[in-house]
Amino acid sequence: MKAVVYERYGSPDVLTMREVAKPVPKDNEILIKIHATTVSAGDCRMRRADPFAARLFNGLTKPVRIRTLVFELAGEVESIGSKVTRFKAGDQIFASCGIRFGAYAEYRCLPEDGVIAMKPSNLDYGEAAAVPIGGGTALRFLRAGNVQAGQRVLIYGASGSVGTYAVQLARVFGAEVTAVCSTGNLELVKSLGASAVVDYTTSDFAALGERYDLIFDTVGKSQLDSCIRSLKPGGSYLSAFSLGLSAMRSRVRLRMSEGKKFRASAGGEKAEDLRLLKTLLESGELRPVIDRRYALEQIVEAHRYVDGGHKKGNVVIHV
């Protein structure tokens, strides 16, 4: 089968197409014929080994543990292991590979008790592939922040994959949403349900004097001081990209400021989360935002685009 592999860290040019052995499902696994996957900022960070923690996970000098990237996919079950009972050949599914990665390929085996669900009936494979990571991350963080109906929520980085889902999910939970993004994305986030928008290229949201019950930084680029000033007493600051000492400092500073809370993790992925997202997608309360679509053979071009840092929502790869 065809697969995209990388044998050194670096620019998109390290990604190459190879012929590799087609996987065979174990007793508890399903074999998925992949129809679509994505390019996320996380995939690009793994490819570059930036931050350095990626090297601790995947090899200090070159990729060792993971050589085929990508967290999420959508496709069709081609065959099943002898002990599988939840899925059958022909099922249309979408799934997260998690830290197993491996979706830049024609086939992938996953355990039947993994983060897998039936594909939303109203989405094509490309749209469905763009849900598990962005949608799942947004859902878990908002739950971790205990978002409630009637609260005021600010989403920083509202036009990215996690951000576009976070705006919609916060509205589903009944919150009033303020979205922070760049000039070109203001209308997009309004269409997703934001009741107010802030253009970070011309305004500092903290300078507007508004206070929020919850601030969710989906891209790791907000200023902690601004967030502290803009949170109500007892409010929560969620950051999808705070690590190590930075996360510890943020937690301490927030605790010292009117009982405010900090969360940089939101628990593990669950198949039940995918099933909830499926329900919301089929009801029309949630939709994936697709920026561009590429063929697997265009993977280098797709990574270059995402490296530019200006994608809206998701970039899809058709296999």
Q: How are beta strands 115-118 and 152-156 bridged, if at all?
A: unpaired
Closest CA to 37 of 134, 166, 169: 134
* 19 and 84 co-located in one domain: yes
CA dihedral (297, 8, 305, 56) in degrees, to 10, reads: 130
Indicate which CATH number applies to the domain containing 44.
3.90.180.10
* 257 and 196 co-located in one domain: yes
Phi, psi of 19 (to 5 degrees): -95, 125
Q: Is residue 278 part of a domain?
A: no
Indicate which CATH number applies to the domain containing 259.
3.40.50.720
Three-class SS state of 315: strand
Total domain count, the chain: 2
- Residue 161 domain boundaries: 135-263
Q: pLDDT tens across 93-147, in order?
A: 999 998 889 999 999 999 999 999 999 999 999 999 999 999 999 999 999 999 9
Instruction: Report the pLDDT value the prediction gives residue 257, as an integer from 0 to 100.
Output: 66
pTM: 0.93
* 94 and 20 co-located in one domain: yes
pLDDT at 244 over 60: no
Q: pLDDT tens across 266-309, in order?
A: 778 999 999 999 999 999 999 999 999 999 999 999 999 999 98
pLDDT at 213 over 70: yes
* 112 and 167 co-located in one domain: no
* 55 and 123 co-located in one domain: yes
Q: Is the dihedral of CA 116, 117, 123, 125 positive or negative?
A: positive
